[in-house]
Amino acid sequence: MSFLHHHPFSAASRYARLVLSEYDEAVEFVEEKPWVRNAALLALNPAGILPIFIDDNETVVAGGSVITEYLVETKGARMGEVRLMPEHAADRAEVRRLVEWFAGKLHGEVTNYLVTEKIYKRQMKQGEGNTSPDPAAIRAARANVRYHIQYIGYLAARRNWLAGRELTLADFAAAAEISCIDYLGEVPWEADEAAKAWYARVKSRPSFRPLLNDVVRGVPPAPHYVDLDF
């Protein structure tokens, strides 16, 4: 049995969950608090960052992008056309560029602010950190998100999927980030119809259903969050 140490609203964890599901991997989920550094987690990943995947050979793989590429390398051959990484080096480079954009830039400028301030801080117990939301961080995220939605729309309007003709890791890296933001009702979908149509396609995949069932106590999802045709 494989294990994934994760948090339901860690975007990197969601990215790993999506790809694990696409590859039909049986996984036992271990929920962690990303704001708490504990010895057991640090023993698995000294960086203390989620997600952490332990496969059935007890290989420990840490980080959303590292886990997903590990899955491509170890499981991808059996997946045929849906292996999620292109054949040619230049196409793979574009996938990796976009994964870095979404998991790095979009996450740092939008997702991390919103999830930390609106979800993590609500879940923190006394002594685990500052539980007061930072309005400046939320304002920064709201100022940045429109640009990122428009960039997704720019890509989606010119390509079949974000990185090119085929569905790839780039689509799931982007969707993992957007899903967290969308749960909170912070995606300005009116800003770009192409981005909205792309997200509806990804959201309709069976691998996405578990994410749509995630709920934060005291923070209900946006009314359209679970709708496939929104």
CATH at residue 124: 1.20.1050.10
pLDDT of residue 80: 65
- On whether residue 32 sits in a domain, the answer given is yes
This prediction has a pTM of 0.96
First to last CA, the chain: 36
Task: Quote the domain boundaries for residue 20.
Answer: 2-82
**Cβ-contact 180, 141 below 8 angstroms:** no
User: What is the number of domains present in the chain?
Assistant: 2
Looking at the fold, whether 75 and 101 belong to one and the same domain comes out as no
**Cβ-contact 30, 6 below 8 angstroms:** yes
Looking at the fold, whether 110 and 197 belong to one and the same domain comes out as yes
Phi-psi region of 112 (alpha: psi -120 to 50; beta: other; left: phi over 0): alpha
Q: How many helices (H) and strands (E) does the chain have?
A: 10, 4
Q: Return mean pLDDT, the chain.
A: 95
**Cβ-contact 176, 166 below 8 angstroms:** no
Residue with tokens 């939605």: 149
What pLDDT band is residue 81 in, cutting at 50, 70 and 90?
Answer: low
For 109, phi then psi, to 5°, come to -95, -20
Q: What's at 111, amino acid-wise?
A: T
User: Mean of the pLDDT values across residues 202-211?
Assistant: 98
| pLDDT at residue 128 is higher than 80 | yes
Looking at the fold, whether 199 and 137 belong to one and the same domain comes out as yes
Looking at the fold, whether 69 and 124 belong to one and the same domain comes out as no
What pLDDT band is residue 65 in, cutting at 50, 70 and 90?
Answer: very high
Q: What's at 15, amino acid-wise?
A: Y
Residue with tokens 């292109």: 86
Looking at the fold, whether 69 and 93 belong to one and the same domain comes out as no
